Amino acid sequence: MLKRNIPFFTVFLFFFGGCSVVKFSPKSSEYVPVKQNTVADSSTVLWLSKYKDSVEQIMNVLVAKTSSDLLNIRYKGKIDKDRSTEANLARVCADFMHQAAQNWASNQPFTKVDFTISNYGGFRVSLFAGDITLGQLYELSPFDNEIVIVQLNGLQMDTLLNQIAEKGGCPISNAQITLGNDHWLKATINGNLFDSRRNYWVATNDFMQQGGDGFTALKYPQKKIQTGILVREALINGFSQEFEETGDIKPRKEDRFIFSENQ
């Protein structure tokens, strides 16, 4: 009997010992939140302090105060209709970019920027009611992208407006656009109805201008001017100036996109 048990045991070992089967344990797998009451590791606190001190010098400088929450929400389609009365950070940022581009352009051979367009991905965090520090504006706009001004002809503008429509809107300033499902229906730019026979000056960031986020209409403009102004600088100036002048940041609750029921 013993002799015959050997092959049996070999087979047994082959199936149980030689081939390792890994099993996932769903019951013990979980996420662990990093909460306020989690004790801070003192050696990490010490290590971080060598960086923290110099970063805090930048981070803690007060730039402005806001009485309303400025929310970083991507308003799209119907959501925009329902929530358009909420203060929208994207509108504030687009306005500050527009101001910076216009100021810059006023010292140049051409005198104005028709409108400004940005991408939602360019603005990264919400700003809640209270202090706005320089550090928060670095978090809002961490990238070193600069403002560029491009001239587009009517056909390129038409393509750009359709690309905006396909995305269901994006941060814009000094324009109002009525959108169908994936195409634009009506556009008012700088107070006037869009005219496909003329050229338009559009301010944007260099990332988008190079075709980033799929805005290919900006890639081969009639003319392109680099301002050298970082988007972040434009925002810092915008926030600081508006706060200085008005003591607050205007929440910008108005619609910039109208979503048409009739396609």
Partner 1 sequence: MNRKKFIQLSSTLIAGSLLNGNELEASGIWGKEELVILHTNDFHSRFEPFPSSHKTWGNKGGISRLKTLIDQYRSQYKHILLLDSGDVWQGTAYFNVFKGHPELEWMKNVNYQATTIGNHDFDLGIDHLSELRKKYQTPTVLCNYQINHQGFQEIIQPFKIIEMGKFKVGITGVAIDFKDLLPQKSYEGIIYQDPVEPLQMTVNELRNNHKCDLVIVLSHLGYQYDSDKIDDLKLAQKTEGIDAILGGHTHTFLEEPIIIKNKTGKNTVVNQAGWAGLRLGKLHFQI
The least CB distance from residue 62 to partner 1, in Å, is 13
Nearer to partner 1 (CB atom), residue 168 or residue 189: 168
**Measured distance CA(50)–CA(54) in Å, rounded:** 8
Let me know: does 118 contact 170? Beta carbons within 8 Å: yes
Residues that bind partner 1 (CB under 8 A): 1, 4-5, 7-8, 11-12, 15-17, 20-26, 28-36, 38-45, 47-48, 51-52, 54-55, 58-59, 69, 124, 126, 128-131, 134-136, 138-139, 142-144, 206-207, 210-214
**Measured distance CA(51)–CA(55) in Å, rounded:** 6
End-to-end CA distance of the chain: 84
Question: Residue 169 burial by CB count (10 A; 0-12/13-18/19+): exposed, middle or buried?
Answer: buried
Nearer to partner 1 (CB atom), residue 122 or residue 174: 122
The least CB distance from residue 52 to partner 1, in Å, is 7
Let me know: does 244 contact 79? Beta carbons within 8 Å: no
Let me know: does 145 contact 213? Beta carbons within 8 Å: no
Nearer to partner 1 (CB atom), residue 83 or residue 112: 83
The least CB distance from residue 109 to partner 1, in Å, is 28
Within 87-214, residue ranges assigned H as helices are 89-105, 134-140, 154-166, 206-209
Nearer to partner 1 (CB atom), residue 47 or residue 110: 47
The least CB distance from residue 71 to partner 1, in Å, is 9
Nearer to partner 1 (CB atom), residue 24 or residue 197: 24
The least CB distance from residue 190 to partner 1, in Å, is 29
Q: For the chain, how big is the Rg over CA atoms in Å?
A: 27
The least CB distance from residue 207 to partner 1, in Å, is 6
Nearer to partner 1 (CB atom), residue 35 or residue 197: 35
Q: Which residues are registered as beta bridge partners of 147?
A: 205
Lookup: tokens for 257: 């996109």
